Amino acid sequence: MKINGYQPVQSYTNNYQAAKPGEQQSSPAKTSDKVEISNAAKRLQGSQRLEEARQEKIEQIKSQIDAGTYHVSSTSIAEKMYNFWNKQ
């Protein structure tokens, strides 16, 4: 293995040295932060309300099934299946 000459570390550390006494360090310009919410994110935020309403409906249907009062119209199901397969 051949080792070539090395470079001193001093040349790299000069960038990180503190400013000399008497010199003022420039302070970074103050900026304000800004947040923008995309339309997709706004829709997702609104979906929580939809999820709560859906969960409420599910609980209602479960209670109807348990009570034996839940009825599904076979005509309605047939119409929806027909419309789905015929793309109406």
In a domain, 6, yes or no: no
In a domain, 66, yes or no: yes
| Residue 68: pLDDT band with limits 50, 70, 90 | very high
Q: In which domain, by residue range, is 69 found? A: 44-88
- Token pair, residue 53, equals 């309403």
In a domain, 24, yes or no: no
Number of continuous H segments (helices) and E segments (strands) in the chain: 3, 0
The per-residue pLDDT for 78 is 95
In a domain, 5, yes or no: no
Strands (E), 1-88: none
Q: Judging by beta carbons within 10 Å of its beta carbon (0-12, 13-18, 19+), is residue 20 exposed, middle or buried?
A: exposed
pLDDT, tens digit (0-9, with 9 covering 90-100), for 17-57: 655 555 555 666 778 888 888 888 888 777 778 888 999 99
Distance CA 37, CA 39 (A): 7
CB contact at 8 A, 24 and 30: no
In a domain, 31, yes or no: no
The per-residue pLDDT for 82 is 95
In a domain, 62, yes or no: yes
In a domain, 84, yes or no: yes
Identify which has the larger pLDDT, 10 or 29: 29
Distance CA 37, CA 43 (A): 10
The number of distinct structural domains making up the chain is 1
